[in-house]
Amino acid sequence: MKIKEIISVLEEMAPLAYAEDFDNVGLLVGDQDVEATGILVCHDALENIIDEAITKNCNLVVCFHPILFSGLKKITGKNYVERAVIKAIKNDIAIYAVHTALDNHQEGVNKIFSDALGLINTKILIPKQNFIRKLVTFTIPENAEEVRNALFDAGAGTIGNYENCSFNSKGIGTYMGNEHSNPQVGERFEFVQGDEIKIEVTFEKHLENKILKALFKSHAYEEVAYEIYELQNQHQNIGLGMIGELKNPISEKEFLLFAKEKMQCGGIRHSNFIGKEIKKVAVLGGAGSFAIKNAIQAGADAYLTADLKYHQFYEAENKLLLADIGHFESERYTKNYIVEYLRKKILNFAVILSEENSNPVKYL
């Protein structure tokens, strides 16, 4: 199995189009055409992780955080990033990062976080904007079903929990072909007027090329008329953070002790207690100060995230319990999820969970 085949599986799990614009995801180091010897899954692809990959005969390291986040102007081994990259290149080890591609997935980082806390009735906290497009096309009635099914097979027509969604309307189409035309109905230079079906479907924008290929292949016309629009709709199943509910409300202190146990936290920094039972909980793995207002607007009783600064605790405004449980801790179980996913999809192949703890933060 080549590394590029494994990458296809990883992109099914976390499509790169889901990643934030600032991020650096996908294959960061290595040749995708090389035969894979094994996969080592980790949180951070540090130098000691590359050593572990060498020891365990894995030439593909799948990490959550990208070791290459911003551009390198020199690679001299003067810092931890350069040393890890140099060692990986010297030992023909590829590095692939998922990061916000998995953050934004409805089954990704924040669902894993929510599941660890036992939250129910979960939904995306900040749905992704400007990600949905709409295709409109026209064809003869006899061709409509074939076109629709081809578009559905290519990924169009999914709305929330529903698939194969489309809108179809009848109308009258007209055309007249020139000397170079080869019309399906009628003759060259003949004005043709006939029944047509207008088909409308929505799709995720990264599927556009695939959708158009399906359209052109299935369409009866020599020249396919179509329109594509960018929609303002939010994508309810893609986005950052998640909000859900505890099965039973508990006190603020009980909740923090519960979260500390479930997420194996060395410590939790939190805002003032406001004497409110915790039932509705918002979470966002990693640095999530930007979503405090979103958690408040969503009616959360508590918001768990990481990397909060001093003044950001004031933003709780006595409206919710704000808690910083630690960056690594909030994403703790992500690598386990990746391993389980790969083992289900790639049978009889070495998929290994790293034994190294890459959390740089220590607690007394």
Annotated binding site for a divalent metal cation: 65, 103, 327, 331
Q: Measured between alpha carbons, how far apart are the two ends of the chain, in Å?
A: 45
Q: Collect all residues with Cβ–Cβ distance below 8 Å to 19 and sequence separation of at least 6.
A: 25, 99, 100, 101, 104
E strands in the chain: 26-29, 39-44, 60-65, 94-97, 120-128, 132-139, 167-175, 192-204, 226-230, 235-250, 269-270, 278-287, 302-306, 321-324, 351-353
Task: For residue 65, give both structure tokens.
Answer: 């955080």
Quick one: which of 336, 329, 274, 278 has its CA closest to 306?
329
Task: For residue 157, give both structure tokens.
Answer: 């027509």
Cα–Cα distance measured from residue 11 to residue 88, given in angstroms and rounded to the nearest whole number:
22
Cα–Cα distance measured from residue 247 to residue 301, given in angstroms and rounded to the nearest whole number:
14
Quick one: which of 167, 141, 165 has its CA closest to 155?
165
For 55-70, b where at least 16 C-beta lie within 10 A, e where not — what string? eeebbbbbbbbbbbee
Cα–Cα distance measured from residue 335 to residue 223, given in angstroms and rounded to the nearest whole number:
48
For 118-130, b where at least 16 C-beta lie within 10 A, e where not — what string? ebeebebbbbbee
Annotated binding residues, as ranges? 65, 103, 327, 331
Q: Collect all residues with Cβ–Cβ distance below 8 Å to 208 and sequence separation of at least 6.
A: 133, 228
For 232-256, b where at least 16 C-beta lie within 10 A, e where not — what string? eebbebbbbbbbbbbeeeeebeebb
